[in-house]
Structure 1
Amino acid sequence: MTRAQVRRRLALEWWRHLGVALAPLFILNLLFGADQQTGLLTMPLFIAGLAAMFVSLPLFSAYKRALVATEKALDTADEHDAWLNLARVRRPGLLGASLPAWIAALAVFAGLEAIPLILLAISSIVQLYLYRIPPQLG
């Protein structure tokens, strides 16, 4: 598999994961968000969504180390293994970055307002954006 094919596959995986991260929030909000009244769990769920952003910190550090290792392995015999390791390390990071949006999807049932839902979704999008493969790596 060539480097361009690996990059394309990782880019498609990123787009798929972005859809998986945001789809539950949009679908649940569309189906159940209109008639919800504000409940007691709205603030704790919003705070949990904000705290979930910090789950991604150690995962992102591991991803950065894998990126550096992949860059060093370019045009060597270890390049294939470095790409595999990068993909392996990136998956948990993508899941951790998706947590705020998934918590926001649960908060729809508690009646969380639109602005906090949007903020949690945007925080997931920003974190997921950090896990894109940089153009310098190719």
Structure 2
Amino acid sequence: MTRSQVKWRLTLAWWQYLAVGLLPLLVMAWAFGGGAALMPVLALPLFLGGAATMFLSLPRFGAYKRALIATSKALGSADEPAAWIELARVRRMAMFFACFPAWVVALSVLVGLEAVAQILLALSTLVLLYLYRIPRQLG
């Protein structure tokens, strides 16, 4: 597989994780957004929990940056395929953790979390996922 094909697959995986992260929120808002809140007292704790899940992504971001640097050093050598595989593995785990805030906010639709708070947590997922895009300088 060529370098451009690997980068294309990693870009496609990024778009898939964006959909996996934000689609549950859209579905829950469409299905349950107009209904009455089940337990409004849980709205603030769920918002705070969703905001706290952003910090779960911090160690994964460090691992991703180390894998990115290792991949850039391995370009053109015999270790390049293994470096791409390791980068994809580390990135996949990091993007999984980056989706947590949007998944928490999808659950918070049931308890009546305000739209502004939902948008903030969804944007935090979007920003976290944006950090895991493959830079143009790589390859």
Give the structure-1-normalised TM-score.
Answer: 0.98
The percent of aligned pairs where both chains have the same amino acid is 57
The C-alpha deviation readout for 1:87-123, integer Å capped at 9, x for no partner, is 0111110011000000000000111011000000000
State how far apart, in whole Å, the 2-side matches of 1:48 and 1:21 are: 16
Kindly state the Cα deviation for residue 35 of structure 1 after the two structures are TM-superposed. Answer: 1.8
Q: Which runs of 5+ in 2 are unaligned?
A: none
Alignment of 1:44-83 (within 5 A): 44-83=45-84
State how far apart, in whole Å, the 2-side matches of 1:96 and 1:48 are: 14
Is residue 31 of structure 1 aligned with residue 65 of structure 2?
no
Following TM superposition, the consecutive aligned residue runs of length 4 or more in structure 1 with deviations greater than 2 angstroms are none
State how far apart, in whole Å, the 1-side matches of 2:84 and 2:92 are: 13
State how far apart, in whole Å, the 2-side matches of 1:117 and 1:4 are: 36
Could you say which residue in structure 2 is the equivalent of 1:94?
95
The C-alpha deviation readout for 1:66-89, integer Å capped at 9, x for no partner, is 000000000011000000000011
State how far apart, in whole Å, the 2-side matches of 1:95 and 1:84 are: 17
Give the structure-2-normalised TM-score.
Answer: 0.97
Instruction: Name the SS for the 2:23 alignment partner.
Output: helix
Could you say which residue in structure 1 is the equivalent of 2:15?
15
Count of aligned residue pairs for this structure pair = 138
Instruction: Name the SS for the 1:34 alignment partner.
Output: coil
Could you say which residue in structure 1 is the equivalent of 2:5?
5
